[in-house]
Chain A
Amino acid sequence: DTAVSQTPKYLVTQMGNDKSIKCEQNLGHDTMYWYKQDSKKFLKIMFSYNNKELIINETVPNRFSPKSPDKAHLNLHINSLELGDSAVYFCASSQDLRTSYQETQYFGPGTRLLVL
């Protein structure tokens, strides 16, 4: 019944490694997002995808590569992890890109990434 799910919930890894976070939504939404919440709890958008197409990339380093195999999934792959990548990463979705500026975004439970 979970609307937006993410795996894993926790991820501890060493600097320099590559890791992926998966996101799935069963709401039938067209648009999905990745947000990053830093250690000060500040939330900032990273990417938005609509039906597998990249809509926005908010000046995120190219070590971060989102991949959308279909409109229900948006995965985040991070190469060469750095200490500063430690954060909570949230996936979210909203129904329709054309009206996304007025729609509620529904969030997943978050993935806490710790880079040692």
Chain B
Amino acid sequence: AQTVTQSQPEMSVQEAETVTLSCTYDTSESNYYLFWYKQPPSRQMILVIRQEAYKQQNATENRFSVNFQKAAKSFSLKISDSQLGDTAMYFCAFMKPEINAGGTSYGKLTFGQGTILTVHP
């Protein structure tokens, strides 16, 4: 079974600074997908960024970027120019093709434990 580990239960950063959230995962697969989701106090799960394992180039989305190290099975999230609205719980997630008992291929997200990020003014 795949596992996803986020070793930082809580992080804090000053507004406008940069912070990096860590994530490691364990898999023997070569074809998989990685995601970072954000859960603000409103509870909504919002996709921040995604990375395909076959792509060597790190994904970026505005102030958010990842450092994907496939050999090390590491997928960290860097938030630049942190804003108060970035305060949230951040979840790293892993997905690969699965097969059910009937032989149907499907995907399911396996989440890490989450990291609470607080941005201070």
A106 with B96: in contact, given A55-B106, A97-B104 (CB under 8 Å)? no
- Interface 1/0 per residue, B30-56 and A, CB below 8 Å: 000101010100111111001010000
A101 with B52: in contact, given A41-B114, A109-B43 (CB under 8 Å)? no
Give the bracket for the number of chain A residues in contact with chain B. 20 to 34
Question: Which residues of A are found within 8 Å of B42, using beta-carbon distances?
Answer: 109
Give the bracket for the number of chain B residues in contact with chain A. 20 to 34
A101 with B47: in contact, given A41-B114, A42-B113 (CB under 8 Å)? no
Closest to B53 in A: A102
The stretch from A13-21, A44-52, A65-73 touching chain B is: A44-52
Among B39, B44, B91, B95, the residue within 8 A (CB) of A101 is B95
Nearest chain B CB to A106's CB is how many angstroms away?
7
Closest to B47 in A: A104
A105 within 8 A of B: yes
Among B33, B47, B104, the residue within 8 A (CB) of A102 is B33
Question: Which residues of A are found within 8 Å of B50, using beta-carbon distances?
Answer: 104
Q: How many A-B residue pairs have CB under 8 A?
A: 69
A98 with B114: in contact, given A41-B89, A109-B43, A110-B43 (CB under 8 Å)? no
A74 within 8 A of B: no
Residues of B whose CB lies within 8 Å of any CB of A are 33, 35, 37, 39, 42-47, 50, 52, 89, 91, 95-98, 100, 104-109, 111, 113-114
Residues of A whose CB lies within 8 Å of any CB of B are 31, 33, 35, 40-45, 48, 50, 55-56, 58, 88, 90, 92, 94, 97-98, 100-107, 109-110, 112
* Apart from A100-B105, A106-B47: 11 A-B pairs, beta carbons within 8 A: A41-B114, A42-B111, A42-B114, A44-B111, A48-B106, A101-B96, A101-B106, A103-B107, A105-B109, A109-B44, A112-B43
30 intermolecular pairs with C-beta atoms under 8 Å apart: A33-B108, A40-B113, A41-B39, A41-B113, A42-B113, A50-B104, A56-B98, A56-B100, A56-B108, A58-B108, A88-B43, A90-B45, A92-B45, A97-B105, A98-B105, A101-B95, A101-B96, A101-B98, A101-B105, A101-B106, A101-B107, A102-B95, A102-B107, A105-B109, A107-B45, A109-B42, A109-B43, A109-B44, A110-B45, A112-B43
